[in-house]
């Protein structure tokens, strides 16, 4: 973490891109888009590899070659960042596949040591490369001289074949001085033959040109047929070999024709001087043709040198460079120009000229021709500025051109993307054309051709002359890690583990870092990007002119503090001593921070910078006073506040005193919040009476100074032996350190160095260097590093009892979980049961939550790519990425949507992650810490919401919070009867309707004193007995409150008429009337209605109504007038018969109950 001091340790190589995309995205969220695997151990001491990272050293000016379609380019470079197997820092051959984005190292042989090489030539299909090797790669090659090889790339690992050997498969040619110094091998387009130059006469028995010419033998040109394993001399005519040196072979597609230039004077009758001329050898026809001559089969031989030929695919055309003035009428000066000779047509054409068949000749030298397979296009370089209208600036810089013989046009090619792309801002040093004539390869130091190339290293480019695309070819394969080529050390990790700052003297890490001094770099492990931090202000600020060391990176990875001897970072850096700087990686500014409050560079060897989490404060130690209260010459601890521009004295006694430490103080470690600084001190006015060095913590905001290296309690015993190397948590509350004391923890009774943790809030000190079974380490433990959250401690120990996986006594790295009380081995290979490191592991550092542990290791079994015993830096995914928030479950309290009748309640909950912390609140109050249960205060009537959220150990916050909404209701509900019987009713099953005044309440009913029971409205009562009844109803609301005054209704059921009944006397005759007495007795006040009817239509009685009082007897005479009787009835009466009369008596009581009685009587 940022708060840990960086102590210079043994040199080590450092890391750059091996863990890209495996770590979290940003410290603000601490969430990674890709879950990294737990227990992964990753080698970090690898050189920078931005995907497709460009070479960190020049591409050889004359060593590039293109395949027929331009897909593959072979090139030579001293770069060491293209392949991890390239460790010799010598020129090596690579092949770039622009389609698959791969870069293949060609030079090392199959199973042989790394071997340097040069002068590559690639076949048309890109699968074979001829080159010169500087080392004896093949077992048959033991001459100690350069030799020619062919690499076959069609196999997963390139296979090599020795070429510069006599016919057969025997030994290489005998050693001679600089045997193939001028080899310039070229492979045929079909890959079947290789032409090359050599000084060795033994390659072909017919070669008798063995005269020593000055220092060198006269070189010759040979062709090796790879199919027949034959080697043939070609720098000869039909009868003799050349009598002088021959150079620069070029071979056609099938290997049947070879061109070269030579000083020989015995190969053609027309060439009797020793000026270099160009010839074409037809191997099949055994003929040799002089090509550097004017038009015609016997045209004049060039009157000046002709060199550097390039042959067409069929061998019938050859281009070359000449200073002659007699080859074309347009060329009358001695400037180098490019020509093309058509062997069949015997004509010679000037190529280096402007548009048109007779375009202006180039006004400056042109050279390095490369001819397409069909002989219609020639690429070359030229300093002329009159060949293309786009090139108008005079100068001596070479640019790339292509002459199209079909259209007689000449076009500039060394430019950025597009037909009118920016012209290269630096020269072109060599050129090659694909056999197809479309792709142009060239080498240049230009910085404006590709966004990825901003340095002045020579790079290789490929230009598509048809589409106008220009691509950088001298690139590493995407994502390939490569060792840094200098010592690297001092890793410092951001809070989330994404950013790693480190020191390195490597020159292949960033193109801007080339001075071989130690520099500060910052790696983004997610993207693989690496950035030089020790540089002047500006995105492209100059590298420091002095060494820089001891980086400390802020928690968010934006700021890096470091120590430097450089004098070019700040204008006011005038102390002459080393100074401290902070680089802001976002604004690209570098700021001098070792200043006093007057912004003066005091000097006094400021060192050991430690930066706060937000980068606003930097703690450091210095021997000279940076504060007026420092009146002695001892080393003290200071804090530079970058926000206020002030410098504070931290090594001072408790309180706001004007004193400094009475003795030395060293190694500050500042908390991420910038409030506290832990440091070593020998000052007894800081530590109290102590004869040994202690760990002191100064809270610079509260002006308090506390001793951390002491036993439990605020005044626990001071450590009995030296305490060293403090590491402080982000909030300054936890300090880890190492000590030889035996009085800090009862479990530690040995004088071994042990690691302790002091909780400044709880005032307790515990032994951290112990096993999971609590047994103390059985050996020294040191170099403690506490996680930012104060819950983990990493340390180094040679003890073999801390983890069952550790069985040796070499120092290993362990991680102690202070909450769980467990300790595990970290310095091990990938996997939960990965192998323990087989060499020394040291200097751990952790990310904020302890997920990432970085450490140094000399082990060779932690990663397959690390086989040396040099210290490397590793990252261990100790805990695994965790982006899942904890889950909280509410287990008790009011249920969702419920009502409670109390004004207070208590909620209970559980969390699914151990050591997660929780916060609770009711309604809109602020969240406060809670654990398992949370009681409310008095709650008002109405709805309320309880919320709880939990945060795990890596700050994953549960969102949204888990909630429970309920309603407090302490008021009784009201109840009312809306309708139903009252008074006296004649219905035995009357219906009651009723309701509550409170929505959602339930109802209970009671009839005639029976217990209340649930009921709903409307309620039809069961058949009731005659007489009076009492009905009650009460409401119970959702909170359980019951209406204490139920609504009630009393009523009487009366469905029966009382009385003794009906008596009918015999009818009697009364004059002209028939009289029938009817006697009715009622038990209650009623209405009596009498009706009658004589059968057979004999007439009807007049309706009679009486209303007797209660319990009264009433006699009603049913009178029937004879006049009303019909004749039939009358006759019957006269005859003495007695006709029938039906009587109906209806008694109706006061509420409508009716009793009807019917009687039949005889009339007389």
pLDDT in tens, 405-428: 999 999 999 999 888 899 999 989
pLDDT of residue 1047: 96
pLDDT of residue 1098: 61
Q: How many CB atoms are located within 10 Å of the residue 971 CB?
A: 11
Phi, psi (rounded to 5 degrees) for 687: -100, -15
Q: Quick one: tokens of 224?
A: 């090796």
Query: Using CA atoms, how far apart are residues 132 and 134, in angstroms rounded to an integer?
Result: 7
Pairing type for strands 230-233 and 246-251 reads unpaired
pLDDT top residue among 216 and 788: 788
Range 812-827 average pLDDT: 95
pLDDT at 112 over 60: no
pLDDT in tens, 671-719: 999 999 999 999 999 998 888 999 999 999 999 999 999 999 999 999 9
Check if the beta carbon of residue 11 is closer than 8 Å to that of residue 487. Answer: yes
> Among residues 372, 327, 374, 382, which one has the least CA distance to residue 349?
327
With residue 118 as reference, give the H or E element that holds it.
strand 117-122
| Weakest mean pLDDT among 413-422, 470-479, 935-944 | 470-479
- Cα–chain center distance at 408: 54
Range 960-972 average pLDDT: 96
| Weakest mean pLDDT among 68-72, 176-180, 1017-1021 | 176-180
% of the chain at pLDDT higher than 90 = 55
> Among residues 142, 162, 167, which one has the least CA distance to residue 152?
162
- Please provide the DSSP assignment of 760-800 as one string: TTTTEEEE-SB-TTSPBPSS-EEEEEE-TTSSEEEEEE--S
> Among residues 1107, 1099, 1052, 1049, which one has the least CA distance to residue 1076?
1099
pLDDT of residue 486: 63
pLDDT in tens, 848-896: 888 888 888 888 888 776 666 667 777 788 887 788 999 999 999 999 9
Burial of 778 (0-12, 13-18, 19+ CB in 10 A): middle
- Please provide the DSSP assignment of 642-663 as one string: TTTTEEEE-SS-SSS-S---SS
How does residue 182 score in pLDDT terms, banded at 50, 70 and 90?
Answer: low
pLDDT at 745 over 80: yes
pLDDT in tens, 632-645: 889 999 999 999 99
Query: Using CA atoms, how far apart are residues 449 and 440, in angstroms rounded to an integer?
Result: 14
pLDDT of residue 11: 25
With residue 1130 as reference, give the H or E element that holds it.
helix 1127-1134
What is the end-to-end Cα distance of the chain in Å, rounded?
133
Q: How many residues does the chain have?
A: 1164
pLDDT at 1061 over 80: no
Query: Using CA atoms, how far apart are residues 890 and 900, in angstroms rounded to an integer?
Result: 17
Largest distance between two CA atoms of the chain = 192
pLDDT of residue 15: 30
pLDDT of residue 34: 28
pLDDT top residue among 770 and 1059: 770
Range 601-622 average pLDDT: 94
| Weakest mean pLDDT among 893-897, 1041-1045, 1075-1079 | 1075-1079
In the numeric block, the tokens 């199209």 are attached to 404
Determine the Cα angle at 956 with ends 954 and 961, to 5°: 145
DSSP three-state, residue 486: coil
Check if the beta carbon of residue 1007 is closer than 8 Å to that of residue 1015. Answer: no
pLDDT of residue 58: 57
pLDDT of residue 1114: 75
pLDDT in tens, 496-515: 888 888 888 777 778 788 88
Range 725-749 average pLDDT: 95
pLDDT of residue 26: 25
Check if the beta carbon of residue 988 is closer than 8 Å to that of residue 954. Answer: no
Check if the beta carbon of residue 236 is closer than 8 Å to that of residue 288. Answer: yes
pLDDT top residue among 368 and 1143: 368
pLDDT top residue among 368 and 395: 368
DSSP state of 475: B
| Weakest mean pLDDT among 10-24, 86-100, 419-433 | 10-24
In the numeric block, the tokens 């550092």 are attached to 845
Domains along the chain with CATH numbers:
487-877 (2.120.10.30), 888-968 (2.60.40.1220), 975-1053 (2.60.40.10), 1061-1162 (2.60.40.10)
| Weakest mean pLDDT among 487-496, 611-620, 796-805 | 487-496
pLDDT in tens, 296-317: 999 999 999 999 999 999 999 9
């Amino acid at each position: 973490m940022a708060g840990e001091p960086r102590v210079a340790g043994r040199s080590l190589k450092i890391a750059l891109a091996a863990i890209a995309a495996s770590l979290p995205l940003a410290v603000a969220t601490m969430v990674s888009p890709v879950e990294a695997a737990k227990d992964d151990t990753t080698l970090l001491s690898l050189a920078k590899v931005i995907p497709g990272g460009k070479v960190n050293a020049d591409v050889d000016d004359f060593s590039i070659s293109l395949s027929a379609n331009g897909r593959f380019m072979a090139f030579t470079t001293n770069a060491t960042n293209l392949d991890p197997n390239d460790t010799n820092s010598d020129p090596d051959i690579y092949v770039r596949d622009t389609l698959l984005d791969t870069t293949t190292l060609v030079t090392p042989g199959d199973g042989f040591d790394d071997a340097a090489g040069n002068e590559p030539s690639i076949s048309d299909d890109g699968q074979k490369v001829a080159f010169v090797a500087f080392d004896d790669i093949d077992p048959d090659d033991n001459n100690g001289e350069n030799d020619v090889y062919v690499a076959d790339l069609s196999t997963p690992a390139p296979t090599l074949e020795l070429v510069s050997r006599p016919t057969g498969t025997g030994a290489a040619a005998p050693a001679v001085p600089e045997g193939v110094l001028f080899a310039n091998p070229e492979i045929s387009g079909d890959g079947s033959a290789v032409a090359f130059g050599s000084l060795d006469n033994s390659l072909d028995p017919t070669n008798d040109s063995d005269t020593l010419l000055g220092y060198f033998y006269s070189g010759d040109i040979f062709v090796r047929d790879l199919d027949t394993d034959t080697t043939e001399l070609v720098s000869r005519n039909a009868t003799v070999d050349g009598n002088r040196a021959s150079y620069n072979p070029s071979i056609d597609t099938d290997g049947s024709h070879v061109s070269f230039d030579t000083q020989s004077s015995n190969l053609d009758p027309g060439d009797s001087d020793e000026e270099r001329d160009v010839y074409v050898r037809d191997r099949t026809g055994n003929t040799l043709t002089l090509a550097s001559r004017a038009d015609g089969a016997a045209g004049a031989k060039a009157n000046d040198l002709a060199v550097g030929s390039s042959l067409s695919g069929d061998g019938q055309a050859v281009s070359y460079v000449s200073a002659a003035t007699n080859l074309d009428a347009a060329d009358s000066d001695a400037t180098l120009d490019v020509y093309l000779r058509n062997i069949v047509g015997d004509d010679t054409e000037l190529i280096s000229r402007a548009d048109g068949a007779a375009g202006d000749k180039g006004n400056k030298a042109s050279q390095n021709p490369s001819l397409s397979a069909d002989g219609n296009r020639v690429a070359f370089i030229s300093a002329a500025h009159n060949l293309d209208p786009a090139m108008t600036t005079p100068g001596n810089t070479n640019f790339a051109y292509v002459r199209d013989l079909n259209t007689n046009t000449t076009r500039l090619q060394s430019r950025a993307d597009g037909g009118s792309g920016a012209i290269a801002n630096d020269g072109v040093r060599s050129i090659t054309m694909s056999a197809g004539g479309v792709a142009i390869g060239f080498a240049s130091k230009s910085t404006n051709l590709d966004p990825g190339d901003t340095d002045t290293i020579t790079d290789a480019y490929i230009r598509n002359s048809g589409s106008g695309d220009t691509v950088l070819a001298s690139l590493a394969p995407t994502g390939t890690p490569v060792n840094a080529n200098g010592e690297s050390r001092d890793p410092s990790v951001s809070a989330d583990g994404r950013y790693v700052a480190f020191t390195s003297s490597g020159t292949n890490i960033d193109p801007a870092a080339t001075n071989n001094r130690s520099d500060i770099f910052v790696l983004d492990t997610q993207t693989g990007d690496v950035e030089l931090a020790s540089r002047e202000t500006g995105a492209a600020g100059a590298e420091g002119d002095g060494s820089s060391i001891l980086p400390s990176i802020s928690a968010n990875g934006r700021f890096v503090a470091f120590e430097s001897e450089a004098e070019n970072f700040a204008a006011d850096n005038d102390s002459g001593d080393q100074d401290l700087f902070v680089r802001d990686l976002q604004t690209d500014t570098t700021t001098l921070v070792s200043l006093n409050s007057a912004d003066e560079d005091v000097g006094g060897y400021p060192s050991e910078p430690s930066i706060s989490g937000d980068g606003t404060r930097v703690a450091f130690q210095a021997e000279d006073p940076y504060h007026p209260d420092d009146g002695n010459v001892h080393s003290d601890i200071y804090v530079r506040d970058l926000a206020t521009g002030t410098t504070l004295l931290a090594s001072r006694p408790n309180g706001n005193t004007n004193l400094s430490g009475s003795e030395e103080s060293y190694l500050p470690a500042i908390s991420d919040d910038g409030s506290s600084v832990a440091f070593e001190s020998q000052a007894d006015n800081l530590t109290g009476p102590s004869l040994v060095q202690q760990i002191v913590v100064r809270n610079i905001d509260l002006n308090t100074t506390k001793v951390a290296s002491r036993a439990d309690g605020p005044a626990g015993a001071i450590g009995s032996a030296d305490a060293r190397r403090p590491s402080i948590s982000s909030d300054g509350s936890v300090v880890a350190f190492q000590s030889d004391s035996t009085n800090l923890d009862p479990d530690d009774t040995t004088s071994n160095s042990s690691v302790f943790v002091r909780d400044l809030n709880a005032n307790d000190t515990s032994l951290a260097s112990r096993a999971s079974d609590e047994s103390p380490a059985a050996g020294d433990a040191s170099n403690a590093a506490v996680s930012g959250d104060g819950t983990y401690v990493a340390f180094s120990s040679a003890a073999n009892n801390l983890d069952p996986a550790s069985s040796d006594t070499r120092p290993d790295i362990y991680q102690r979980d202070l909450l769980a009380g467990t300790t595990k081995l970290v310095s091990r290979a990938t996997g939960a049961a990965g192998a323990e490191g087989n060499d020394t592991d040291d200097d751990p550092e952790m990310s904020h939550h302890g997920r990432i542990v970085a450490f140094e290791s000399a082990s060779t079994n932690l990663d397959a790519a690390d086989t040396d015993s040099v210290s490397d830096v590793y990252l261990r995914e100790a805990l695994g990425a965790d982006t899942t928030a904890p889950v909280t479950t509410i287990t008790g309290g009011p249920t969702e949507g419920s009502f409670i009748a109390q004004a207070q309640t208590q909620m209970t909950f559980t969390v699914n992650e151990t050591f997660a912390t929780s916060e609770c609140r009711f309604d809109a109050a602020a969240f406060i810490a809670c654990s398992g249960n949370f009681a409310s205060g008095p709650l008002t009537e109405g709805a309320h919401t309880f919320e709880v959220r939990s945060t795990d150990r890596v700050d994953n916050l549960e969102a949204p919070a888990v909630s429970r909404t309920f309603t407090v209701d302490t008021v009784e509900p009201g109840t009312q009867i809306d309708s139903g019987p009252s008074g006296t009713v004649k219905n035995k099953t009357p219906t009651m309707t009723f309701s509550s005044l409170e929505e959602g309440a339930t109802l209970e009913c009671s009839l005639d004193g029976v217990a209340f029971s649930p009921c709903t409205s409307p309620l039809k009562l069961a058949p009731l007995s005659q007489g009076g009844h009492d009905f009650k109803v009460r409401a119970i609301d959702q909170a359980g409150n019951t209406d204490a005054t139920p609504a009630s209704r009393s009523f009487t059921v009366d469905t029966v008429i009382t009385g003794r009944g009906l008596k009918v006397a015999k009818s009697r005759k009364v004059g002209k009337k028939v009289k029938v007495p009817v006697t009715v007795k009622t038990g209650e006040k009623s209405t009596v209605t009498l009706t009658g009817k004589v059968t057979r239509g004999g007439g009807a009685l007049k309706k009679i109504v009486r209303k007797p009082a209660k319990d009264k007897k009433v006699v009603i005479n049913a009178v029937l007038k004879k006049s009303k009787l019909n004749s039939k009835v009358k006759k019957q009466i006269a005859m003495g018969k007695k006709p029938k009369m039906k009587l109906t008596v209806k008694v109706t009581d006061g509420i409508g109950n009716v009793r009807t009685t019917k009687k039949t009587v005889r009339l007389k």
